[in-house]
């Protein structure tokens, strides 16, 4: 029954990667911007939550009440003041600006929190598990993360297809020029979109910080996992991103079952293999 | 009506003066070992290989439009190939430098074929994934020390030169040679017909394809050549360090981030850019290194500011303001009409108005 446990573990790990990837997918989907600081923003959320827990004595889940509004404001202002100025035909400026941001966040965290590994604690929930049959059990906390990923996607779909700002997101994504002609303030739409993406990043960062240890330099690896999930699923398709995350999680779990050293490598190799056979992912939605 | 006489020139007064200053500087650097100042020599070696790496990334990103964030893949690979050749095939370290470069060029061909499927920013992160794969792969090679890495065998170290001083001199000369070769190679390439095609790709890939530039082949050629050169620089870097490990060899911050910021801050798409970027990088690092990672924060902020306010970089600001050009790759037509010399240039340097 070992292999069932492995597959279950991979599936749940996929939920984590999907949650990492949703913010990246969202920012790309609306404004064709690849945020290289994505992984570092996830780690930043973990550290902000860590600081809130230390200073105010709140639990990690309650800290979301502070982290999420803060991250929305961060994303909104960042897009309005900085990233909007980089959008255009030239791909270099958004790439360099988000790369610069990544370096600033990493080294800023290194200066203020030192290089130590941290972890947030949630008590018993972390280790609780539900028994499925005699020798298989699933962790409650990984299930919570997986459910959060699905709820987040459903919430974003409701936002995209059921609200005025969602309609503006889609219109701007399809054709920014035409959207502007229809009286949509695309700069503000972009700012709201990045704000929403940063809220998702905040959720992912805090949940990650409870699940595993993190340190100031652990962002880039998370960017790569998120990126792989987005590409595997197909650019701009948010359910595809979930599938991409699960594919990556399964690849890593199976690779890890063969040889623990091989876990991360297996994920990268599956990603490269999919790139060979399906260069545009399973469910591409965005034409290049 | 007589035909107006004209001459076509490439050299400008600023390029003559600039190249003379650089030549004198190089002579000065060649004389430096006479002073026996080994600390300065080591710093110059580092500056030299950073300059060569920056020239290579500038060619790749600034001209061929290939925004790779994964060039550290080839730095680490080149370094590891040198250690493999020396420790397991009995090659002499110095001869291994070009062979390591050649092997890096070879491995870059399948990488390019795979990565060219991704466009724009996805190519950038894709190359980064490849570098991660390289790193994880070398973790699994016990013959090269696995995760903890290996030192260059003592016999091979003595092979470079019997004394420590002799070794430092050889490394010093090699580093200068590689830096000069990188500048000369990029300059010569850009002045050739391929340079014209590359400049066209930089300005508009679609338009250059429509006038008959084989953009895929040219980009592939640049990617492979840059990977080979980068691999050779990587081999030199780890020959100087005498030690290699996966984490040090494939360090995205030390190799890719620093190089990219150097080029962007100095001025991407200009040969002078990396020189200016290198000067700023080492000035920042040497003056603030006592305060930990602050120079990296400053570097990141500076790169962001450049992208927002002066995309042509610091050299671009200077060159546009004072009309100077040390490495002219364009041709200038001088009309000798009525003894009045009017220079009109067909500008092949990036114009700031375009952005």
Which band of pLDDT confidence, cut at 50, 70 and 90, is reported for residue A1? Answer: low
pLDDT score of A76 = 97
Determine the residue among B63, B115, B146, B300 to mutate to test chain A binding: the one whose Cβ has the most chain A Cβ atoms within 10 Å.
B300
First to last CA, chain B: 42
Residue of A nearest to B268 (CA): A92
CB contact under 8 A, B293 and A269: no
Residue B345 has pLDDT above 50, yes or no: no
Query: In this structure, is residue A2 part of a structural domain?
Result: no
Contact between chains at A103 and B355 (C-beta distance less than 8 A) = no
Residue A206 lies in a domain: yes
Q: State the Cα–Cα distance between residues A217 and A231, nearest whole angstrom.
A: 23
In what helix (H) or strand (E) does residue A45 lie, and over which residues does it extend? helix A38-56
Distance from the A224 Cα atom to the nearest Cα atom in chain B, whole angstroms? 7
Give how many domains chain A has, as a whole number: 2
- Nearest chain A Cα distance for residue B155, angstroms: 33
Flag whether A75 is in a domain: yes
Tens of pLDDT, residues B253-286: 889 999 999 999 999 999 999 999 999 999 998 8
Q: What angle do CA B29, B35, B38 make, to 5 degrees?
A: 80
- A180 and A263 both lie in a single domain: no
Q: Which two tokens stand for residue A66?
A: 């502070």
> Which residue of chain A is at minimal alpha-carbon distance from B292?
A111
Tabulate helix, strand, coil % of chain B (nearest 5): 75, 5, 20
> Is residue A9 a part of any domain in this protein?
no
- Residue that finishes a domain, picked among A201, A217, A233: A217
**Nearest C-alpha in B relative to A106:** B297
Is A174 inside a domain boundary?
yes
Same-domain check for residues A195 and A269: no
Domain co-membership, A189 together with A247: no
B107/chain A closest Cα distance in angstroms:
15
Which of B66, B125, B246, B252 is the best substitution to test chain A (most A C-beta atoms within 10 A)? B125
Nearest to A75 by CA among A168, A179, A189: A189
The CB density around residue A90, as the number of other CB atoms within 10 Å, is 13
Does residue A122 form part of some domain? Answer: no
Shared domain for A184 and A205, answered yes or no, is yes
Q: Which two tokens stand for residue A62?
A: 């309650």
Helix A38-56 vs helix A2-31: crossing angle, to nearest 10: 100
| Share above pLDDT 70 across residues of chain B, in percent, rounded to a whole number | 93
CB atoms within 10 A of CB B148: 9
* Per-residue pLDDT tens digits for A49-72: 999 999 998 888 999 999 999 999
Spatial contact of B99 and B85, defined as CB atoms under 8 Å apart:
yes
Contact A276 B114 (CB under 8 A): yes
Q: Which residues of B touch A97 (CB under 8 A)?
A: 303-304, 307-308
pLDDT given for residue A137 in this prediction: 82
DSSP letter, residue A236: T
User: Among A191, A217, A243, which residue terminates a domain?
Assistant: A217
CA dihedral B303, B308, B313, B319 (to 10 degrees): -160
CA distance B343 to B355: 25
Show contacts of B351-355: CB within 8 Å, 24+ apart: B352/B310, B352/B311, B352/B312, B352/B316, B352/B320, B354/B203, B355/A90, B355/B311, B355/B312
State how far residue B67 is from chain A, nearest Cα, in angstroms: 8
* B6: β partners: B335
Q: Considering only residues A163 and A277, tell me which one the structure prediction assigns the higher pLDDT.
A: A163
Domain assignment of residue A131, yes or no: no
Give the bridge partners for B337, in sequence order.
B340
Nearest CA among B124, B138, B71 for reference residue A223: B124
Q: Which helix (H) or strand (E) holds B256?
A: none
A190 and A88 together in one domain: yes
State whether A182 and A281 are in the same domain: no
Q: What are phi and psi of A138, to 5 degrees?
A: -115, 145
Specify the DSSP element, H or E, that contains A186. Answer: helix A186-211
The verdict on A91 and A150 lying in the same domain is yes
- Report CB contact under 8 Å: B257, A103: yes
Q: Measuring CA to CA, which residue among A228, A236, A214, A268 is closest to residue A41?
A: A214
The DSSP output letter for B64 is: S
Q: Judge whether A203 and A148 are in contact, CB under 8 Å.
A: yes
- Do residues A238 and A26 touch, judged by C-beta distance below 8 A? yes
Residues in chain A whose Cβ is within 8 Å of chain B: 33-34, 36, 82, 85-86, 90-97, 99-104, 106-108, 110-111, 220-221, 223-224, 227-228, 231, 235, 261, 264-265, 268-269, 271-272, 275-276, 279, 288
In a domain, A124, yes or no: no
In the listed set A158, A183, A217, which residue is the last one of a domain according to the structure? A217
Q: Which of B61, B72, B122, B267 to mutate to test the interface with A (most CBs of A within 10 A)?
A: B122
What pLDDT sits at residue B337? 57
Kindly state whether residues A82 and A225 are assigned to the same domain.
no
pLDDT for A104 equals: 95
Beta carbons of A238 and A22 less than 8 angstroms apart: yes
- Measured distance CA(A81)–CA(B355) in Å, rounded: 18
Same domain, A90 and A150: yes
Asked if A72 and A196 sit in the same domain, the reply is yes
> Does the distance separating the beta carbons of B140 and A272 come in below 8 Å?
no
Considering the entire predicted model, what is its pTM?
A: 0.90
- ipTM of the complex model: 0.90
Chain B environment of A34 (Cβ under 8 Å): 120-122, 124-125
Give the integer Cα–Cα distance in Å for B348 and B355. Answer: 15
CA atoms within 13 A on the CB side of B299: 33
Cβ neighbours of B114 in A, within 8 Å: 272, 275-276
pLDDT at B194 over 80: yes
State whether A198 and A224 are in the same domain: no
Chain B residue with CA closest to A274: the answer is B114
Look up the domain containing A262 and give its range: 218-288
Say whether both A212 and A102 belong to one domain: yes
């Amino acid at each position: 029954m070992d292999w069932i446990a492995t597959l279950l573990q991979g599936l749940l790990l996929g939920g984590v990667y999907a949650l990492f990837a949703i913010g990246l997918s969202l920012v790309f989907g609306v404004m064709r911007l690849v945020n290289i600081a994505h992984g570092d923003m996830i780690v930043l959320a973990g550290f902000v939550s860590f600081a809130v827990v230390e200073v105010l004595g709140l639990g990690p889940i309650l800290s979301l009440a502070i982290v999420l509004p803060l991250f929305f404001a961060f994303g909104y202002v960042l897009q309005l003041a900085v990233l909007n100025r980089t959008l255009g035909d030239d791909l270099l400026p958004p790439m360099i600006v988000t790369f610069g941001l990544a370096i600033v966040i990493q080294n800023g965290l290194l200066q203020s929190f030192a290089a130590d590994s941290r972890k947030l604690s949630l008590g018993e929930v972390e280790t609780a598990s539900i028994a499925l049959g005699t020798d298989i059990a699933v962790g409650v906390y990984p299930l919570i993360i997986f459910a959060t990923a699905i709820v987040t996607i459903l919430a974003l779909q409701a936002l995209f297809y059921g609200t005025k700002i969602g309609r503006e997101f889609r219109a701007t994504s399809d054709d920014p020029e035409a959207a502007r002609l229809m009286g949509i303030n695309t700069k503000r739409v972009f700012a709201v979109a990045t704000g929403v993406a940063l809220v998702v990043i905040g959720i992912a960062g805090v949940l990650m910080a409870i699940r595993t240890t993190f340190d100031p330099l652990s962002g880039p690896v998370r960017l790569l996992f998120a990126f792989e999930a987005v590409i595997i699923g197909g650019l701009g398709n948010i359910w595809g991103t979930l599938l991409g995350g699960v594919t990556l999680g399964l690849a890593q779990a199976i690779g890890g079952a063969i040889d623990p050293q091989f876990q991360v490598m297996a994920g990268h190799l599956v990603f490269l293999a999919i790139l060979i056979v399906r260069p545009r992912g399973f469910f591409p939605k965005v034409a290049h | 009506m007589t035909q107006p006489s004209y001459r076509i020139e490439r050299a400008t007064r600023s390029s003559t003066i600039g190249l003379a200053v650089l030549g004198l500087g190089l002579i000065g650097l060649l004389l430096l070992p006479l002073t026996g100042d080994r600390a300065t020599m080591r710093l110059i070696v580092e500056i030299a290989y950073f300059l060569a790496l920056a020239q290579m990334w500038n060619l790749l990103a600034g001209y061929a439009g290939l925004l790779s964030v994964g060039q550290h893949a080839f730095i680490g690979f080149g370094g590891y190939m040198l250690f493999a050749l020396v420790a397991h095939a009995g090659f002499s370290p110095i001869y291994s430098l070009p062979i390591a470069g050649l092997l890096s060029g070879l491995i870059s061909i399948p990488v390019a074929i795979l990565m060219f499927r991704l466009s724009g920013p996805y190519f950038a992160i894709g190359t980064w994934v490849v570098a991660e794969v390289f790193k994880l792969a070398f973790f699994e090679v016990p013959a090269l020390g696995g995760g903890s890495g290996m030192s260059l065998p003592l016999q091979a170290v003595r092979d470079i030169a019997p004394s420590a001083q002799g070794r430092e001199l050889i490394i010093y000369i090699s580093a200068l040679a590689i830096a000069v070769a990188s500048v000369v190679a990029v300059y010569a390439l850009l002045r050739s017909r391929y340079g014209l095609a590359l400049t066209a790709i930089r300005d508009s890939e679609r338009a250059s394809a429509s006038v008959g530039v084989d953009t895929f082949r040219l980009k592939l050629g640049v990617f492979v050549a840059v990977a080979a050169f980068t691999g050779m620089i990587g081999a030199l870097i780890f020959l100087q360090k005498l030690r290699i490990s996966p984490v040090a060899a494939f360090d995205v911050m030390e190799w890719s981030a620093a190089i990219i910021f150097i080029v962007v801050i100095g001025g991407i798409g200009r040969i002078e850019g990396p020189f200016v970027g290198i000067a700023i990088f080492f000035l920042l690092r040497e003056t603030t290194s006592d305060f930990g990672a602050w120079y990296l924060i400053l570097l990141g902020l500076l790169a962001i500011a450049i992208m927002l306010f002066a995309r042509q970089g610091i050299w671009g600001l200077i060159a546009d303001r004072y009309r100077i050009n040390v490495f002219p790759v364009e041709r200038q037509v001088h009309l000798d009409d009525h003894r009045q010399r009017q220079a009109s240039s067909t500008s092949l340097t990036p114009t700031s108005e375009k952005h």
